[in-house]
Amino acid sequence: MNPTSGRSVWQAPTLTTGLDARVDLPGSKSITNRALILAALADGVSTVTGTLRSRDTDLMLDALSALGIGVDADIDDPTRVTITPAAMHDADVDCGLAGTVMRFLPPVAALATGTVHFDGDEQARSRPLHTILNALRGLGVDIDGDGLPFTVTASGSVPGGEVTIDASASSQFVSGLLLSGARFDDGVVVRHSGRPVPSMPHIEMTVDMLATAGVVVDRTEADTWCIAAGPIAAVDWSIEPDLSNAGAFLAAAAATGGTVSVPRWPASTTQPGAQIVDLLVQMGATATLTDGLCSVTGPASLRPLTADLRAVGELTPTIAALCALADGESVLSGIGHLRGHETDRLAALSTEINRLGGDCTETADGLRIVGRPLHGGVWHSYADHRMATAGALIGLVVEGVGVDDIATTSKTLPDFPGMWSAMIGEQ
């Protein structure tokens, strides 16, 4: 692999004392970008409080603004954003590396009047998009291209109807169609045909948020989602902390035998990132949830893990890093679809763990990792935020680990290096 190299290498801090930290996390990227889409398509003005302000969410805000949607961030609190729907027009949309922008925005753009051109980072041009673009063609949308860059030529409405897709590469293809489906002339019926859809909890999140906005999703038939044409209600959304981003911090407790606590942890949530706690417990950690404070304490030594991560693929880099530090053989399965994420995460994890002296091999749908003593070296991020935080996690217990392009973490977490240093008591 040819990793994407950043301008500098960040020396990951190694813990020298016991870890006992409280980490306050900003809002969920997944919930934020879904809320912004629904607010842009609603029948009135919505306010989104606790909006994550990171590269991915700012790209979504910029894209909606370029389309003509009113986007007003509070001067004193940029996480409070007012969204005012309006007629949409010609625009240039920068997707960056944000899967939610490149897969959720084309159905929205199809409701504009004019030409909407999509492009993104060079690495994004290899990400699979033909599924969502072909689906929109089947629903009556004029699209030129099968991946970035591509152009949507919109007439102000989408006929809609039924479409069959293979969403085995990403649940975002289903969510993207559902979020806009109520605004299509005949609604939308999305049928999945193929291997099981990964990250199903993210579709549950979409369905739950649509229900909050008054849109009912009929799921009577397996692997089929039906939405009738109708209004989307304006909602004042309050965004939960990002539990996927919490994963690396809670895993730090597991890796070091220390304790990390995250406040405002929801008692119930559709965020699949919440499952990090159960996975850490399987590896020997203990966990408590009291009055919204989730605390994880790590074991004296990490147990290996055998787990199907299909529903929580985004946690794979964090879990793989812990498995490289564990005592024994771990097998992670159900994650073949990660080969189409920001980078080929399976190849990247195998390459970087082995670069530091580990033992990681790819399987048909996952990774086999045998814990070995690791040594220092440069951990490449491949412009992938989850890869970067995985390198930082290993660096907590392995001296001399440098993470290339740590700035890529700004995709979902504005100041990861500062938060990481503060967690271990460095300023």
Give the separation between CA 11 and CA 319, rounded to whole angstroms: 21
> In angstroms, what CA-CA distances link 175 with 76, 92, 113, 182, 199?
32, 22, 23, 12, 11
**295, 285, 300, 347: which is closest to 320 by C-alpha?**
347
Is 64 strand, coil or helix?
Answer: helix
Query: Of 314, 342, 399, 426, which residue is the catalytic one?
Result: 314
Give the separation between CA 375 and CA 361, rounded to whole angstroms: 18
Give the separation between CA 290 and CA 284, rounded to whole angstroms: 20
Q: Write phi, then psi, for 308 (nearest 5 degrees).
A: -90, 115
**30, 84, 69, 37: which is closest to 52 by C-alpha?**
30
Contact between 56 and 30 under an 8 Å Cβ cutoff? The reply is: no
Give the separation between CA 309 and CA 352, rounded to whole angstroms: 20
Annotated binding site for phosphoenolpyruvate: 29, 99, 127, 172, 345, 386, 411
Residue 404 corresponds to which amino acid?
Answer: D
Contact between 190 and 208 under an 8 Å Cβ cutoff? The reply is: no
Give the separation between CA 327 and CA 308, rounded to whole angstroms: 19
**DSSP line for 1-24:** --PPP-SSEEEPPPP-S--EEE--
Retrieve residue 372's tokens.
């070995």
Give the separation between CA 377 and CA 401, rounded to whole angstroms: 5
Is 362 part of the annotated catalytic residue set?
A: no
Return the bridge partners of 241, or none. 27
Residues with active-site annotation: 314
